[in-house]
Amino acid sequence: MFFILALVSYGVGSVAAVSSLAGVNIAGFDFGVEITGTANLNNAQGPLKALGNSDGLAQMQHFVKNDGLNMFRLPVSWQFLIASETPPTNPTNGTSIKSTTSSTKITIKTGTFRPRAANNTAANSGALDPTNFAQYDTLVQSCLGTGATCVIDIHNYARFNNKVIGQGGPSDEAFAFLWSQIATKYATTPNLIFGLMNEPHDIPSLPTWTTTVQKAVSAIRLAGAITQTILLPGTDFTGAQTFISNGSARNLSTVHNPDGSNTSLAFDVHKYLDVDGSGTHTECVGDHVKDTFEPLARFLREEGRMALLSETGGGNDTSCLAAFCTTIAFINANPDVYLGYAGWAAGGFSPDTYNLTMTPQGSNGSFVDQQIVSQCLVGQRNGGEGGNRTNGTSRIQSPGIGSPPVTATTKEFTGGAGRVRDGRVLGLLGWASGMALGLSVL
């Protein structure tokens, strides 16, 4: 009896604990992207049967129905979305963002299709390419249709063609414009998470990168997407192990919504368990609970923040079946600070030959999960009793419910001059009406 009472009163860490979100990456649209931020669009393989590629929809349906998974991360390159291997220049500023992104009717081509990959050298505005965006959106809608939460992941390593955004590469405004367009499209879509950028690394100035992240966050909120969680990525491949020591955690803590709140802003962290943490080897060397996930959990708890482990994994090896299961058990046991986890990766990866594959073998109706998935990713849900969906609750709340007075104004963003954090204009209005008023100014 005492034991039960103790569990009830502490809640967090009880045997029934489980992180809110659990799932896998459904890769393919990102194929051809290098860590330099270059993308060979000829190699992009959107994981959709309609595109002649792997059946990402059937995989996601399987993961939801048979495994109780409830989140999929959907990597895509910036180049793919704008159908250009040339960096965007002269981005349209806030004034025209609204008009250029008003809901365009888009349709998807079927049959085998290679994305348009303009090798153009002409300056481009960074506007979303309707054809390519429709393809990506089909994957997003397929994901949402399963009832899962879906993560939009711009898989560019903070770069475009080997140059860091805001630090020699595309301007912050170009990046904010990309997100403004995406946010406008999905402003009223629930169950979406915006993963600003996959794995920034070798960032010359972390404070400058933080400014870039802030502008993207402000652009998203000012486009009207005020309820979706946004993932904030740090340097060193947003590695969980060095997230605090390398300064990512403290720097990104200064990023806020336009009203100054931190609501629905979560840190994005990655961790692989192989010898060099690269996520390429079949074998794992440890679970990294003590040196990584415990200290990060302490930091998050002290600061009242949360993180999503949006890439993690291991190979089909006894070392990983042990270590990875322990890692996932720890994440599940700390749902007050870890929103959840996404394994790398299913989708377009071969179920047989890719070292870190999480692609199930077989086909729709007879999928068989990889052991690392059934035993760890799924098996460590619900206190190790199996993968079926449980009703974990998230501390991340939607702005508008008990949120602080809104202070957002569009002026900061339209100027494109990085004043996004200074606005304190609409002090007494609620978040939603403040946003509406702000948008009407555009």
**Among 9, 107, 111, 365, contact with ligand NAG (rule: CB under 6 A):** 365
Assess contact for 208 and 172: CB atoms under 8 A.
Answer: no
* Catalytic one of 34, 85, 173, 199: 199
Residue number with CB closer to ligand NAG (1 or 55): 55
**Least gap, CB of 143 to ligand NAG (angstroms):** 12
Site for ligand NAG in 64-83 (CB under 6 A): 66-68
Q: Please state, in angstroms and rounded to a whole number, the distance separating the CA atoms of residues 349 and 354.
A: 6
Strand partners, 118: 84
* Span 145-184, contacts to ligand NAG by CB under 6 A: none
Question: In 3D, which of 161, 157, 239, 236 has the Cα closest to residue 198?
Answer: 157
**Beta strands per DSSP E along 318-376:** 338-347
372 lines the binding site for ligand NAG (CB under 6 A): no
Is 138 a binder of ligand NAG (CB under 6 A)?
no
- The nearer residue to ligand NAG, 188 or 364, going by C-beta atoms, is 364
Token pair, residue 302, equals: 């002290």
- Distance from the Cα of residue 230 to its chain's centroid: 8
Residue with smaller CB distance to ligand NAG, 93 or 100: 93
| CB closer to ligand NAG, 73 vs 381 | 381
Q: Does residue 209 sit in helix, strand or coil?
A: helix
Q: Which is nearer to ligand NAG, 42 or 188 (CB)?
A: 42
Residue 286 binds to ligand NAG (criterion: CB under 6 A) = no
277 and 241 in contact (C-beta within 8 Å)? yes
Q: Is 199 a catalytic residue?
A: yes
Which of 24, 41, 48, 176 is the binder for ligand NAG (CB under 6 A)? 41
E-assigned strand segments in 229-322: 229-233, 265-272, 307-313
Contacts of 435 (CB under 8 A, 6+ apart): 221, 222, 224, 226, 406, 408
List 113, 141, 250, 396, residue binding ligand NAG (CB under 6 A)? 250
List the Cα angle 83/357/145 in 5-degree steps. 60
Query: For residue 331, which of 273, 249, 263, 399 has the smallest C-alpha distance?
Result: 273
Q: Which of 117, 143, 183, 306 binds ligand NAG (CB under 6 A)?
A: 117
Write down the least CB distance from residue 142 to ligand NAG, Å.
8
Among 316, 350, 397, 433, binds ligand NAG (CB under 6 A): 316
- Of the candidates 85, 173, 311, 412, the residue annotated as catalytic is 311
**Which residue's CB is nearer to ligand NAG, number 1 or number 410?**
410
**Is-contact 178 219, C-beta < 8 A?**
no
Q: Please, which residues have CB within 8 angstroms of residue 410's CB and are 6 or more apart in sequence?
A: 94, 222, 438, 439, 441, 442
Q: Is 85 a catalytic residue?
A: no
Alpha-carbon Rg for the chain, nearest whole angstrom, is 21
Q: Rule CB under 6 A: is residue 236 a binding residue for ligand NAG?
A: yes
Please give the single-letter amino acid code of residue 81: L
Residue 161 or 189: the one with the smaller Cβ distance to ligand NAG is 161
Using CB under 6 A, count the residues that bind ligand NAG: 49
Q: Which of 104, 162, 282, 433 binds ligand NAG (CB under 6 A)?
A: 282
Here the tokens at position 17 are 């604990």
- Would you count residue 301 as binding ligand NAG (CB under 6 A)? no
Q: From CA 151, how far away is CA 258, in angstroms rounded? A: 22
With CB under 6 A as the contact rule, the residue among 313, 387, 399, 423 that binds ligand NAG is 387
For residue 71, which of 132, 144, 161 has the smallest C-alpha distance? 144
For residue 416, the minimal CB distance to ligand NAG (Å) is 4
Nearest to 251 by CA among 237, 265, 235, 264: 235
If binding is defined by CB under 6 A, does position 350 make contact with ligand NAG?
no
Residue 403's region, left for phi above 0, alpha for psi from -120 to 50, else beta, is beta
Cβ proximity to ligand NAG, 238 vs 326, nearer residue:
238
**Site residues for ligand NAG per CB under 6 A:** 40-42, 55, 57-58, 61, 66-68, 85, 93, 95, 117, 119, 206-207, 235-236, 242, 245-247, 250-251, 253, 260-262, 280-283, 303, 305, 316, 355, 364-365, 370-371, 378, 386-391, 416
> Which residues have a catalytic role annotated?
199, 311
